[in-house]
């Protein structure tokens, strides 16, 4: 049973990777936020929230790698769970709304707010 | 204090370019916006990595994958056809799972591809196919709500503030990130944690002992119930530097009256990423694991309830379903019938 110890193989590690991945996660989160605010298609809006989940997962794993603590990766499992649940509910909602108005535009529902 | 001017300038340029990319535009202005956006991305990376990882080897791959992820994400929110947006999101997922591999999170990398690219994105594509009616596709171009953004300037302003504050905080904290990363204390603490996890997996430990010592029956437990004796000591390496070495001793038992042997494990004997993540998941977060199951179940119910086609049942159908006879005209209250 000759396990390679991936978590602790310091010589194979890329210390520079953590900083780069943290930057990428900041960029992806901001882009997801812009997409959620600027797009009018409901499906793209939900896709942008998935992008933000992705950025959070990247940050979790990067910080976990920084502290050599596996809790970060465990949190990603929970992020995946919540993302899957959110996708199921959001898409159910989109299908329901599409049946009522025959359009994916979020503006079609803007009169809901008072 | 690390000066952040260049980083903020690059972020502002990127945000302005993103406004023009979001708007439906003509060729030359769009090309200029693409160039500015790429330059801004390069500026953010160069400036961030200069603070976070100066002179470190191994920043090439994260930069390449990061650039792929960010460019695909920008394409995702600027492209007008939703199906292509979903496919660009697949590129983001694949690029981030390669970054997970660089961060030595193998299990999560493949779980991400399976769950995101394999399951969630396919669901999105299904809904897109269900919702999109074919006649408007390709012949008349995208719908208005796909082509024209809502308040792109305000959205990009929000994104700019978000990006500036997050990346500014990361770059400001570069010192502590670099200090924690790979510091001997961090590595030693992780190795001790790894040995403690290994101790909590007695069957794996016995299996490893049988591999290392053919004929052994397993690892002995001492009076206090410990199987491993974890040692942490400061040693001096050949080049005169101090390092922390963590080892663990185990007593290996043999069945036929042979004397027990002391077996010294080093960090190289620790189990791999998947086993340690699984151990952490069930040992440290059992309630969260149960709650995750409940969330998934509730989401399943919710999706079924939401997406089900709603049929309005009349009074007669409801009475029939309840096993009652249909209402006849004579049963109706005279006043109600007259109304």
Domain containing B121 — which CATH number? Answer: 1.20.120
SS3 B237: coil
Last residue of a domain, one of B182, B204, B233: B182
Confidence band (pLDDT; 50, 70, 90) for B158?
very high
Residues B38 and B171 in one domain: yes
Task: Say if residue B300 is in the same domain as residue B243.
Answer: no
In a domain, B321, yes or no: yes
Calculate mean pLDDT across residues B222-236. Answer: 82
Q: B89 vs B26, which has greater pLDDT?
A: B89
Tens of pLDDT, residue by residue over B269-295, are 888 888 889 998 998 999 999 999 999
pLDDT in tens, A41-84: 889 999 999 999 999 999 999 999 888 888 999 999 999 999 99
Q: Given A38, A85, A92, which is nearest B151 (Cβ)? A: A38
Give residues 51 to 70 of A whose Cβ lies within 8 Å of B.
Answer: 51, 54, 57-58, 61-62, 64-70
Q: For B138-147, which contacts have Cβ atoms below 8 Å and span 24 or more sequence positions?
A: B141/B80, B142/B80, B142/B81, B143/A41, B143/A103, B143/A104, B143/A105, B144/A105, B145/A40, B145/A41, B145/A103, B145/A104, B145/A105, B145/A106, B145/A107, B146/A40, B146/A41, B146/A44, B146/B80, B146/B81, B146/B82, B147/B24, B147/B80
Taking contacts as CB-CB distances below 8 angstroms, the residues of chain B near A31 are 18, 70, 73-74, 77, 159
Taking alpha carbons only, the member of A96, A3, A18, A104 closest to residue B85 is: A104
Q: B137 with B209, same domain? A: no
Give pLDDT tens digits for A21-46: 999 999 999 999 999 999 988 899 99
Residue B221 has φ and ψ, to the nearest 5°, of -110, 135
**Residue B173, phi then psi, degrees to nearest 5:** -90, 10
* pLDDT-based confidence at residue B96 (cuts at 50, 70, 90): very high
> What is d(CA A85, CA B226) in angstroms, rounded to the nearest whole number?
41
Which of B182, B208, B240 is at the close of a domain? B182
Instruction: Tell me: do B145 and B231 sit in the same domain.
Output: no
> A7 falls in which pLDDT band (50, 70, 90)?
very low
Helix, strand or coil for residue B154?
helix
Contact B202, B38 (CB under 8 A): no
Residues in A closer than 8 angstroms to B42, CB to CB, are none
d(CA B87, CA B292): 28
In a domain, B206, yes or no: yes
Instruction: Name residues whose C-beta falls within 8 Å of residue A24's C-beta, 6 or more positions apart in sequence.
Output: A55, A58, B62, B65, B66, B69, B70, B96, B99
Find, in chain B, the residue whose alpha carbon is nearest to that of A40: B145
Does residue B333 belong to any structural domain of this protein? no
Residue B280 included in any domain: no
Does one domain contain both B58 and B154? yes
Among B113-122, B236-245, B328-337, the range of highest mean pLDDT: B113-122
Contacts of B107 in chain A (CB under 8 A): 73
| Inside any domain, residue B338 | no
Cα separation, A53 vs A51, whole angstroms? 5
Contact assessment for residue A43 and residue A94, using Cβ atoms and an 8 Å cutoff = yes
List all residues 6 or more positions away from B79 whose beta carbon is below 8 Å from its beta carbon.
B85, B88
- In this complex, is the C-beta atom of B41 within 8 Å of any C-beta atom belonging to chain A? yes
- Residue B337 inside a domain? The answer is no
Q: What is the domain extent for residue B299?
A: 285-328
Q: Name the residue among B53, B111, B148 with its Cβ closest to that of A80.
A: B111
The count of structural domains within chain B is 3
β-sheet bridge partners, residue B243? B235
CB atoms within 10 A of CB B100: 26
For residues B192 and B230, is the Cβ–Cβ distance under 8 A? yes
Global pTM reads: 0.86
Q: Is residue B339 part of a domain?
A: no
Q: Which comes out higher in pLDDT, residue B298 or B205?
A: B298
Shared domain for B262 and B133, answered yes or no, is no
pLDDT bucket at B141, cuts 50 / 70 / 90: low
DSSP for residue B224: T
Question: Alpha-carbon dihedral of residues A57, A59, A60, A66, nearest 10 degrees?
Answer: 150
Residues B236, B268 within the same domain: yes
Assess whether B15 and B163 both reside in one domain: yes
Q: Which residues contact A82 (CB under 8 A, 6 or more apart)?
A: A53, B295
Specify the DSSP element, H or E, that contains B261. Answer: strand B261-265
Task: Copy the structure tokens of residue B112.
Answer: 């991400």
Based on the fold, state whether residues B176 and B79 are members of the same structural domain. yes
Q: What is the SS3 string spanning chain A?
A: CCCCCCCCCCCCCCHHHHHHHHHHHHHHHHHHHHHHHHCCEHHHHHHHHHHHHHHHHHHHHHHHHHHCCCHHHHHHHHHHHHHHHHHHHHHHHHHHHHHHHCCCEHHHHHHHCC
ipTM value: 0.88
Domain match, B197 and B122 both: no
Q: Is residue B218 part of a domain?
A: yes
Distances (CA, A) of B200 to B203, B250, B253: 9, 13, 18
Regarding whether B249 and B230 lie in a shared domain, the answer is: yes
Indicate whether A103 pLDDT > 90.
Answer: no
Q: Are residues B142 and B216 in the same domain?
A: no
């Amino acid at each position: 049973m000759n396990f390679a110890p991936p978590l602790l193989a310091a010589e194979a590690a890329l210390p520079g990777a953590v900083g780069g991945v943290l930057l990428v996660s900041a960029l992806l989160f901001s882009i997801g936020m812009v997409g959620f605010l600027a797009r009018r298609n409901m499906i793209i809006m939900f896709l942008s929230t998935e992008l933000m989940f992705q950025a959070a997962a990247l940050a979790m794993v990067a910080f976990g790698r920084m502290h050599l603590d596996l809790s970060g990766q465990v949190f990603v499992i929970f992020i995946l769970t919540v993302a899957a649940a959110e996708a199921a509910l959001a898409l159910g909602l989109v299908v329901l709304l599409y049946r009522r108005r025959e359009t994916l535009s979020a503006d079609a529902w803007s009169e809901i707010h008072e | 204090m690390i000066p952040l001017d260049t980083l903020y300038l690059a972020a502002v340029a990127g945000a302005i370019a993103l406004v023009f990319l979001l708007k439906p535009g003509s060729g030359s202005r769009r090309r200029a916006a693409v160039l500015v956006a790429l330059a801004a991305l390069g500026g953010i990376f160069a400036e961030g990595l200069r603070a976070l990882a100066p002179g470190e080897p191994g920043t090439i791959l994260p930069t390449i994958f990061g650039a792929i992820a960010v460019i695909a994400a920008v394409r995702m929110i600027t492209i007008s056809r939703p199906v292509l947006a979903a496919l660009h999101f697949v590129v983001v997922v694949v690029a981030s799972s390669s970054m997970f591999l660089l961060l030595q999170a193998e299990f999560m990398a493949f779980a991400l591809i399976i769950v995101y690219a394999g399951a969630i994105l396919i669901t999105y594509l299904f809904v897109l196919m269900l919702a999109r009616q074919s006649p408007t596709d390709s012949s008349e171009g995208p719908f208005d709500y796909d082509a024209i953004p809502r308040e792109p300037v305000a959205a990009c302003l929000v994104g700019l503030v978000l990006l500036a504050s997050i990346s500014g905080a990361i770059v400001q904290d570069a010192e502590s990130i670099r200090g924690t990363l790979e510091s001997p204390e961090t590595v030693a603490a992780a190795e001790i944690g790894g040995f403690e996890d290994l101790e909590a997996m007695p069957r794996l430990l016995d299996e490893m002992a049988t591999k290392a010592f053919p004929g052994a029956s397993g690892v002995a437990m001492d009076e206090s119930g410990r199987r491993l004796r974890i040692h942490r000591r400061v040693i001096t390496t050949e080049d005169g530097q101090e390092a922390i070495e963590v080892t663990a001793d185990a007593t290996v038992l043999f069945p036929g009256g042979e004397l027990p042997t002391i077996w010294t494990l080093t960090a190289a004997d620790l189990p791999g990423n998947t086993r340690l993540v699984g151990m952490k998941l069930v040992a440290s977060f059992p309630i969260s694991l149960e709650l995750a199951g409940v969330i998934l179940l509730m989401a399943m119910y919710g999706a079924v309830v939401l997406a089900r086609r709603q049929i309005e049942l009349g009074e007669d159908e409801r009475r029939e379903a309840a096993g009652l006879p249909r209402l006849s005209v004579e049963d109706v209250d005279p006043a109600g019938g007259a109304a």
